[in-house]
Amino acid sequence: MKPTLILGVGSPYGEDQIGMLVAASLLKDSRIKSFIPKQLEIFSCDRPGLNLLSYLQDKQYERLIIIDAIQSNNTPGTIQLINKAELASFQETISSHGVDLGSAINMAETLQLLPKDFLLLGIEMSPMAQDDYFLDTSSEKISIVNKVVDYIITIIKNNNKLVEN
């Protein structure tokens, strides 16, 4: 079994990019490069819906970390650990055209595909401005990405599951 799977979830637009930007930045980070891919796998997931489960179906990970943008009236860049109970309270939307992240994670748990060690990091982002719609790398966004990357690296390094080569 591989120790950790990290999924940066979002879309290529505006503030919703944050999960994917964090995944891209982690992939390039020299502090964890030697662990990839044998002990650590990292993917950017563009609006995955139920395809999120495709990463889990072989049950090969001990830990799953998901990063996604949230809006909860906190300061932009605030990192919130969302637990399964909180996630279950989210309204589920399942239609032929879209399955929200909460529903996909709940389905993964129902199907016993969700690793026991599971972290969902909600990254507070400000409401999307119209001129911010396309790919942008504002200094504020870069500093949020760096903060989240440091946070995740601290978690996975303190976890003792990664062994230095």
Partner 1 sequence: MKKSIKIPILARVEGEGALELEIKNNKIDKLNLKIYEPPRLFEKFLEGREYNDVIDIVARICGICPVAYQMSAAHAIEDCFELKTSPWIRAMRRVFYCGEWIESHCIHIHFLAAPDFLGFNTAPEMAKKFPEEVRRGIRLQTLGHELINLFGGRPVHPIGACVGGFYHAPKPEQVTNLINKLKNGLEDAENLLNWTASLALPDSSHDFIYVALQHSDEYPFNEGNITTSSGLSITAAEYKDHFQEKQVAYSTALHSSLDGKDYLVGPLARLNLNHQHLPEPIKKILAENKIKIPSQNMFHSIIARAVEVYYSLLEAISLLEDYQYPDAASMKVKPKAGVGYAATEAPRGLLWQHYAMDNKGLVKIADIIPPTSQNQFRMESDLKIALTKFGLDKEDDLLRNHCEQIIRNYDPCISCSTHFLDLRVKRS
Binding site for partner 1 (CB under 8 A): 11, 46-47, 50-51, 53-54, 57, 92, 94-99, 103, 106-107, 110-113
SS3 at position 86:
helix
Shorter beta-carbon distance to partner 1: residue 113 or 156: 113
DSSP conformation letters of 65-109: EEEEEE-SSS-TT-EEEEPHHHHHTSPP-EETTEE-HHHHHHHHH
Q: Determine contact, residues 67/105, Cβ cutoff 8 Å.
A: no
Close Cβ partners of 35 (under 8 Å, ≥ 6 residues apart) = 162, 165
Shorter beta-carbon distance to partner 1: residue 50 or 81: 50
Smallest gap from Cβ 132 to partner 1, in A, equals: 20
Question: What Å distances lie between residue 125 and 43, 80, 102, 161, CA to CA?
Answer: 21, 11, 18, 30
Shorter beta-carbon distance to partner 1: residue 11 or 126: 11
Smallest gap from Cβ 103 to partner 1, in A, equals: 7
Smallest gap from Cβ 89 to partner 1, in A, equals: 14
Shorter beta-carbon distance to partner 1: residue 89 or 139: 89
Smallest gap from Cβ 59 to partner 1, in A, equals: 10
